[in-house]
Structure 1
C-alpha cells in the first residue's frame, strides 16, 4: 500500500502557530494570510484525524495530542533543516501569488505582465486561475483579481477596471437569422446568458422593458461566452478588451451604438483586511492600478 505523507506546508504552519501561540503572527512569519494558515492547519488535522488546537476565542492552545505531535513535527523539520544543501546560501527570491479569472488572465494580464517582470526581474510571479462568482474565499494567494459587484466583506477592495458592455454576434449568425437592425429585433435571436454579464441592465439602456433571459445556454466564463458568439451560437454581451481582436478580424460585429456605461460587474483587486503587504506585493498592486488606469 502506498504511504501517505503529511503535507509539508501544513506541518510548517502547525509548527509556526504552536511556537508563536498566534495564527496571525504565524501567518505573518510565513508571508501568508491568516485564513490560509487556518486552512493548512485544518488540512493537517484532517490528515491526522484529531484536533491540534483548542480554538475558544482566545489564543489557540495545543490539545494533548497536538503537544505530542508537535515534538515529532519539530524533530522532522529540524532534520530537514539540518541536512546539508549546496545551494542553501542562495537568497530566497521574492514571490507574488495572484489569482485571476481566466478571461482576465488571457486578455488583460498576460499582454501586460512582461512590463512588470522586465522592470522587476528579481520578483517571481505565480499566476493561478479562479472561477468568478464561485471561488469567493480568498485562497492562499497574496492577491486576487475578482470580477463581480465589488462587495467583499472583510476584504480590502480596489477597483481595477470597468468597461462598457455591448452586444456582439458573428456575421454568419446574423445572415442565418436575417440580420438585426434594431434592439427590438433581438427578440428573434438566441441570447447567450451569463451571470457575469446579465442582459437586464443593457435592455434598460436600449429602451427594452424585457426581463432577464431565463432559458438557453448559460456560460459563466466571459472568454467562452465570446467564443460561443464567434462560433455563431447566438448574441452575447462583451467588452472592448475581450472582443477588439475578433472585431478587427471581422469574426464578430458590434450590433448597435448602444453601450452600458457602468455594468453591474467590474474587475477588483482584493486582499485580506489588515494584511501588511510585502514590498514586492505592494509593487505589483501599484503596477496593476497604473496599468489599467484609464484603460
Structure 2
C-alpha cells in the first residue's frame, strides 16, 4: 500500500506561519493570499488529525502538538532544500497567475495575450478558470477577473469595463418563430435565462412590466449562452465584445433598439494589496487596465 504523504505546500505554509506568528505575513512571504494559506493549514490539520495553531483573535500561537510537529517539518524541509541540485543556480522565472471567467478568457484575454508576452517575454503567465457568481473566494492566483456586481470586501477591486447588453437571436430561430418587430413580441418567443444576464433590467429599459422568466433553458456561462442563441434555442442577452464576430457574420442578429446602458454585472479585477510588491504582477495589472479600462467594443 502506498504511503500517504502530507502535501509539501501545506508544510511550507505551516513552517512560515509558525515562524512569523502570523498568517498574513506568512502568506505575503509565500506570495499567496491569506485565505489560501489558511486553506493549506486546514489541509495539514486534517492530515495530522490535530490542531496546529491556537487562534485567539488576531494572534496565532502553536498548539502543543504543533510545537512538536514543527521540529519534524523543519528537519524535512531542510533536508529537501539542502539536497544538491544540478541546476540550482538557475534563477527562477517570474510568473503571474491569473484566474478568469471562461468566456472572458476565451474571447477577451487569450486573443490579446500575445501583446503582453511580446512586451514581457521573461514573465510566465499561468491562466486558471473560475465560475462567475460561484467561485467567490480569491484563489491562489495573483490576479482574478470577476464578472459580477463588484461587491468583494477585504480585497482591492477595480472595474475593468462594462458595456450594454442587448437581445439577439439566430436567423433560423426568427424564421421559425416569426418576425419580432417590437419588445412585446417576445411574449411568443423562448427567452434563454442566465444568472449572469438577467432579463429584468432589459424589460425595464424596454418599458415592459414583466417578471424574470422562470422556465426554459438556463445557461450560467456567457459563452455557452451565446452558443445556445446561435444554435437557435431562443432569444438571449449578449454584449458586443462576445457577439461581435457572430453579428458580423450574420449568425446572430440584434433585436430592437433597446439595451441596458448599465447592466447589473460588469468585469472587475481583484487582488490582494501585497501582490503589488512583485514587479511582474504590477506590469500585468497595468497591462489589463490599459487594455480593458474604458475599452471600446
1:111 maps to which residue?
111
Mapped to 2, the partners of 1:270 and 1:293 lie a distance apart of 14
Alignment RMSD: 1.2
- Give runs of aligned pairs for residues 48-127 of structure 1, distance below 5 A: 48-127=48-127
Is the CA contact 1:154–1:273 (under 8 Å) kept in the aligned structure 2?
no
- Give runs of aligned pairs for residues 201-212 of structure 1, distance below 5 A: 201-212=201-212
TM-score when scaled to structure 1? 0.97
1:36 maps to which residue?
36
Is the CA contact 1:167–1:235 (under 8 Å) kept in the aligned structure 2?
yes
Mapped to 1, the partners of 2:167 and 2:246 lie a distance apart of 13
2:175 maps to which residue?
175
1:22 maps to which residue?
22
3-state DSSP of counterpart to 1:270? strand
- Give runs of aligned pairs for residues 154-233 of structure 1, distance below 5 A: 154-233=154-233
Mapped to 1, the partners of 2:25 and 2:259 lie a distance apart of 48
* Distance change >3 Å, CA 273–CA 110, structure 1 → 2: same
Mapped to 2, the partners of 1:209 and 1:31 lie a distance apart of 50
Task: Compute the displacement of 1:273 (Å).
Answer: 5.0
3-state DSSP of counterpart to 1:60? strand
Is the CA contact 2:97–2:141 (under 8 Å) kept in the aligned structure 1?
yes
Mapped to 2, the partners of 1:212 and 1:192 lie a distance apart of 11
Is the CA contact 1:203–1:209 (under 8 Å) kept in the aligned structure 2?
yes
Mapped to 1, the partners of 2:44 and 2:254 lie a distance apart of 52
Mapped to 1, the partners of 2:156 and 2:39 lie a distance apart of 20
Deviations 1:43-69 (A, max 9, x none): 111111111111111431111111111
3-state DSSP of counterpart to 2:116? helix
Mapped to 2, the partners of 1:240 and 1:222 lie a distance apart of 12
Mapped to 2, the partners of 1:140 and 1:70 lie a distance apart of 24
TM-score when scaled to structure 2? 0.96
2:240 maps to which residue?
240
Task: Compute the displacement of 1:103 (Å).
Answer: 0.3
1:5 maps to which residue?
5
Deviations 1:235-258 (A, max 9, x none): 000000101111112111111222
Is the CA contact 1:157–1:271 (under 8 Å) kept in the aligned structure 2?
yes
Mapped to 1, the partners of 2:201 and 2:185 lie a distance apart of 17
Mapped to 1, the partners of 2:162 and 2:58 lie a distance apart of 42
Mapped to 1, the partners of 2:108 and 2:276 lie a distance apart of 26
Q: How many residues align?
A: 295
Task: Compute the displacement of 1:294 (Å).
Answer: 2.8
- Which of 97-106 and 67-76 deviates more? 67-76
